[in-house]
């Protein structure tokens, strides 16, 4: 890929990573349309790493709370707000860790389904479910919407299993799937978005680690010139992804309570229909 193509891909990643519209779907579609196939694991890893850094910096207060929660748990203060939050994020992460370990063990990262029709159908179905969950939650219109800390551990295990589904199927949107089940559980839009962001840290970290492991094994056999070129591509993608992800993350968290999920749902259904029409007529 050229520098311009990599830059465009990184911009797409930055805009879509934290929105409920599936960054993997957009990256895959871009690669199919403009590059003629799927992009490499190296670029995938760079894109995720840039978004991960943005998440660490701009959500720093939440990570501080989780560290306090770890300290509380170490002191056997299991019922503090921060300790309860940490336990729930850990439970939601366990299925994803097991899935990541299985993928790494079987070396099937490149074999996951990445075709336009799968993306289109999954996008439409998951967008419809997200809208239904949002309508149901806001139709109830009660003032006793739950916080993440009040969800039971079995519910958080459900969040983890949904993340596994999203990780395997491009178009599902990890953020969208987490927000859907969070709304079903009774969380407000803001809390649902918060849960999607909090669970993104281990998800992005895991994706980056898996990618780095695979990159390391493949680059060891390459010449020093190809290794240098790969490093340049990695840095370009990661830096652009970081800056765009930072802007998108801040704007999304500020706007979600006001605009709701409907704009994202309309966009995803429209995108899915366009993809199906284009593929059917190609």
Domain residue spans in the chain?
3-280
User: What mean pLDDT do residues 193-211 have?
Assistant: 87
Confidence (pLDDT) at 121? 94
**Does 142 have pLDDT greater than 60?**
no
Q: What is the DSSP string of 126-162?
A: HHHHHHHHHHHHHHH--S-PBPGGGS-HHHHHHHHHH
pLDDT one-digit tens code per residue, 222-277: 556 567 787 888 899 999 999 999 999 999 999 998 899 999 999 999 999 999 99
C-alpha angle 113-90-112 in degrees, rounded to nearest 5: 5
User: What mean pLDDT do residues 9-32 have?
Assistant: 90
Confidence (pLDDT) at 79? 86
Asked if 129 and 180 count as a contact pair (C-beta separation under 8 A), the reply is yes
**Does 21 have pLDDT greater than 70?**
yes
pLDDT one-digit tens code per residue, 102-128: 876 776 555 566 788 989 999 999 999
Question: Which is more confident, 71 or 44?
Answer: 71
pLDDT class for 207, splitting at 50, 70, 90? confident
Confidence (pLDDT) at 263? 95
Whose tokens are 């060891």? That residue is 220
With a pLDDT cut of 70, the percent of the chain lying above it is 90
């Amino acid at each position: 890929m050229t520098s311009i193509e990599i830059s465009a891909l990184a911009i797409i990643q930055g805009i879509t990573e934290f929105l409920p519209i599936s960054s993997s779907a957009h990256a895959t579609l871009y690669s199919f349309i403009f590059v003629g196939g799927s992009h490499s694991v190296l670029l995938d890893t760079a894109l995720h790493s840039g978004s991960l850094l943005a998440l660490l910096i701009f959500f720093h207060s939440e990570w501080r709370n989780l560290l306090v929660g770890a300290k509380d748990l170490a002191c056997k203060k299991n019922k503090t707000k921060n300790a309860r939050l940490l336990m729930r994020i850990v439970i939601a992460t366990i299925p994803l860790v097991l899935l990541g370990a299985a993928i790494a063990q079987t070396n099937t990262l490149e074999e996951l389904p990445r075709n336009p029709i799968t993306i289109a159908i999954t996008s439409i179905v998951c967008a419809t479910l997200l809208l239904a969950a949002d309508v149901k939650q806001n139709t109830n219109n009660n003032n006793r919407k739950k916080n993440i800390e009040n969800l039971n551990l079995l519910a958080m295990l459900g969040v983890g299993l949904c993340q596994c589904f999203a990780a395997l199927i491009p178009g599902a949107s990890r953020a969208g799937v987490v927000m859907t089940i969070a709304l079903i559980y009774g969380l407000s839009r803001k809390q649902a978005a918060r849960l999607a962001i909090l669970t993104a840290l281990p998800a992005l970290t895991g994706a980056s680690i898996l990618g780095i492991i695979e990159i390391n094994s493949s680059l060891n056999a390459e010449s020093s010139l190809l290794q240098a070129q790969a490093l340049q591509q990695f840095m370009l993608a990661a830096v652009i992804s970081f800056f765009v992800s930072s802007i998108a993350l801040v704007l999304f968290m500020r706007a979600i309570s006001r605009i709701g999920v409907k704009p994202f749902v309309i966009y995803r259904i429209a995108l899915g229909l366009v993809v199906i029409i284009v593929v059917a007529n190609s």
